[in-house]
Amino acid sequence: MDGNPFLTEEQKQRYQRQLSIPEISVDGQVRLRNARVMIVGLGGLGSVSSFYLAAAGVGCLRIVDHDTVGLNNLNRQILHSTLDLNRPKIESAAEKLQRLNPECLLEPVRARIGEDNGLDLAEGCDLVLDATDNPATRHVLNRISLARRIPLLYGGINGWNGTATTFVPGETGCFACLFPSKDLKTPATGVPALGAAAGVIGSIQSVEAVRILVGMKPALANRLVKFQGNSIQFRTVHVGRDPACAQCGPSGGD
């Protein structure tokens, strides 16, 4: 986007508390301003990550969701309110995000992401933030990430718990390395979900996105973090690339 290496007086004030973080400072803030992030899903996870990334000064958020706001969303999808019932989530989200940070360019897309439109939707994006609610869509995001060679920040929740990791094409394994099975299903009635668990995982994804955008190494590359909310514990598992992976291995599209 713009090559301006300076911040306005207003930006210096708005981002004052993060400009004093050494790894961010003015340089990182300008990087954030020049970044475009695609957030897929504006539910429990996307409510949190879109809000934090808009607040942090990410220049452009391409927010993608096909759904409307339902009453059973509101225990966890904190970007939407009771007044938003039946509105498209992208419309409700864009309104709140714009109000939070008028400088954030919002690119709302009302669509169900799939093989047919995914690659085009990610054009120009620096990373894909997964805020979806099913493994099948995550496999689509994985193929977009590999084809565009941009990081995919996976996050998911179930009940009290949540999981997150980062896939960087060429550096780490991919979603299909970890979850090659095509038989991953979520119940038709929806996965149980405590709002605050989505808050934890959405926040982890937001921290990771900021790290990557300001030029730091992804903290969750080759590392999967599992949050167990009913005992408030984090576990970390070292993960890696599967040389035999059908997606990113020699026989895949990489």
Partner 1 sequence: MGRTIHITVNGMTEEVPERATLAWLIEHFKEEDPALIVEHNGRFVYLHQYSATTVTENDRVEFIHPDFGG
Question: Cα separations (Å) of 29 from 60, 202, 213, 216?
Answer: 13, 21, 9, 13
Range in contact with partner 1 (rule: CB under 8 A) among 56-64, 92-100, 140-148, 173-181? 173-181
178 binds partner 1 (CB under 8 A): yes
Q: Is the dihedral of CA 215, 165, 161, 230 positive or negative?
A: negative
The single residue among 8, 235, 251, 253 that binds partner 1, judged by CB under 8 A, is 235
Task: Print the binding letters for residues 29-48 with partner 1: x by CB under 8 A, - otherwise.
Answer: ------------x-xxxx--
242 binds partner 1 (CB under 8 A): yes
The SS3 call for residue 15 is coil
Pairing status of strand 36-40 against strand 127-130: parallel
Shortest Cβ distance from residue 17 to partner 1 (Å)?
Answer: 29
32 vs 37, beta carbon nearer partner 1 = 37
180 binds partner 1 (CB under 8 A): yes
Answer yes or no: are the C-beta atoms of 133 and 169 closer than 8 Å: no
Cα angle at 227 between 185 and 245, to 5 degrees? 50
Burial state string for 126-142 with b = 16 or more CB within 10 A and e = fewer than 16: bbbbbbbbebebbbbbb
The single residue among 2, 6, 238, 250 that binds partner 1, judged by CB under 8 A, is 238
169 vs 180, beta carbon nearer partner 1 = 180
The single residue among 16, 86, 181, 189 that binds partner 1, judged by CB under 8 A, is 181
Answer yes or no: are the C-beta atoms of 160 and 228 closer than 8 Å: yes
Distance CA 58, CA 70 (A): 28
Q: Is the dihedral of CA 50, 51, 52, 57 positive or negative?
A: positive
192 binds partner 1 (CB under 8 A): yes
Shortest Cβ distance from residue 18 to partner 1 (Å)?
Answer: 26
70 binds partner 1 (CB under 8 A): no
- The tally of CA atoms less than 13 A away on the side-chain side of residue 83 is 6
21 binds partner 1 (CB under 8 A): no
The single residue among 103, 226, 252, 254 that binds partner 1, judged by CB under 8 A, is 226
Residues in the interface with partner 1 (CB under 8 A) total: 41
183 binds partner 1 (CB under 8 A): yes
- Specify the amino acid at residue 177: C
Answer yes or no: are the C-beta atoms of 175 and 139 closer than 8 Å: yes
Shortest Cβ distance from residue 237 to partner 1 (Å)?
Answer: 5
190 binds partner 1 (CB under 8 A): yes
Binding positions for partner 1, rule: CB under 8 A: 41, 43-46, 131-135, 138, 155-158, 161-163, 177-181, 183-184, 186, 190-193, 198, 201, 224, 226, 235, 237-240, 242, 244
